[in-house]
Copies of this chain bind each other. A is one copy, B any other.
Amino acid sequence: MILKEENAKKNITVGIDIGGTKTLIGFVDPDGNILLEESIKTEHKDSAELYVKYVSEKINSFYEEKLNGYTIAGIGLAVPCGNRFTGYVENPSNFNWGNVDFIGLMKKYIDQPIILLNDAKAAAVGEHHYGKAKGMQNFIVITIGTGLGSGIVLNGELFYGQNSLAGELGHVSVNPNGRKCTCGKSGCLETYVSSNGLRRTALELMSHYLAPSELRYYNFDQIDSKKIFELAEKGDSLAIQVFDETSKILARGLSDAAINFDPEAFILCGGVVNSGDFLIQGLKKYFEENLLSMYRNRIQILKSDMLDGRAAVRGAAYLANKEFVCANNYKMAVS
């Protein structure tokens, strides 16, 4: 009996957030504390097989070097276009991986139970248990980086929909004749509200107005959200206007999401949100104006206080723990 309890104490799960630039690997205890965290470059964006081999070797080596006193009870993967019901990653736009049985691939290298889900859904679980959404029943996490993703918790539970595809809010239409999107449609929210969306808005404003701006010194690739933020901070009026226009469009998108889901809060996270407060300040201003009157003054706009990727790592690890540790303990208890 004592032996069993000691084993249980030492169980940990691994949460992995796979981003377009970096992959964050966290070894997480059952209380959600990250015991060890390693950030590695996301290699092999052209081959899921090579990527999986690469990340599996990293997990095994970190574990053997530093965490030998613990037992890994399971792994939770947070990955763009990850499908919780099938274990597949389905044609993520920033990776050339196609539609791939990701869990199947990983099982070749790691002899552990694995779950996989969309990265924004994992972040919603992380915010629910360890972040700004603690105690909430209905909320939506919006991650704004290369694209725009969302994770939705309804009646206290992560919402998947019929095929684990609910909440691709980056692709709701905000302008039927709007910008071309990587998905093939036009006017998707993320063509405006994302790091690339900010860049496109900067170019559009430079084309439309005559105002001088330091933005005019840089080429397409040099204008990223960080650069626009730096210039806005220095008072560049065009850079400030980029954030203003972006927050107007985000306010429209979130007011439609409010009509759909009637949430108590939106929680914003991701690289673009973390590069200063222009976006979130503008959003707070325009959001209430856009809301249908019955929803006004009822929905909070909050900024995540977790570092980029940590909510997803902790959320994925939480779900792995729930699935592979708690469920087993329950089975043992009732048998």
Q: A interface vs B, CB < 8 Å?
A: 81, 90-91, 137-138, 154-155, 157, 159-169, 171-176, 183-185, 252, 255-257, 259-264, 290, 292-295, 298
Contact = CB atoms under 8 A, between A and B. Distances in A.
24 contacts: A91-B294, A137-B162, A138-B161, A154-B154, A154-B159, A155-B157, A161-B261, A161-B262, A162-B262, A162-B298, A164-B262, A165-B294, A165-B295, A166-B260, A167-B260, A167-B262, A171-B259, A171-B292, A172-B256, A173-B252, A185-B290, A256-B256, A257-B260, A260-B260
Given A81-B294, A184-B293, 5 more contacts: A155-B157, A155-B159, A161-B263, A162-B262, A166-B262
B167 A90 contact: no
A174 B176 contact: yes
Contacts of A169: 259-260
Contacts of A257: 260
Nearest to A171: B292
Contact of A162 (B81, B91, B183, B264): B264
Contact of A172 (B81, B165, B176, B259): B259
Q: How many copies of the polypeptide does the oligomer hold?
A: 2
A interface, over-half SS: loop
A288 to B, nearest CB: 13
A146 B264 CA distance: 29
Pick from A157, A172, A184 the residue with the most CB of B within 10 Å.
Answer: A172
Nearest to A150: B260
Pick from A137, A260, A298 the residue with the most CB of B within 10 Å.
Answer: A260
A157 B81 CA distance: 26
A252 B165 CA distance: 18
A168 B259 contact: yes
Contacts of A160: 262
A252 to B, nearest CB: 6
Nearest to A290: B185
Pick from A155, A175, A261 the residue with the most CB of B within 10 Å.
Answer: A261
Contacts of A264: 162
Contact of A263 (B162, B171, B185, B294): B162
Given A137-B162, A138-B161, A172 B260 contact: yes
Nearest to A167: B260
Contacts of A138: 161-162
A151 to B, nearest CB: 13
A172 B173 CA distance: 11
A155 B81 CA distance: 21
Given A162-B298, A298-B162, A183 B293 contact: yes
B298 A168 contact: no
B298 A163 contact: yes
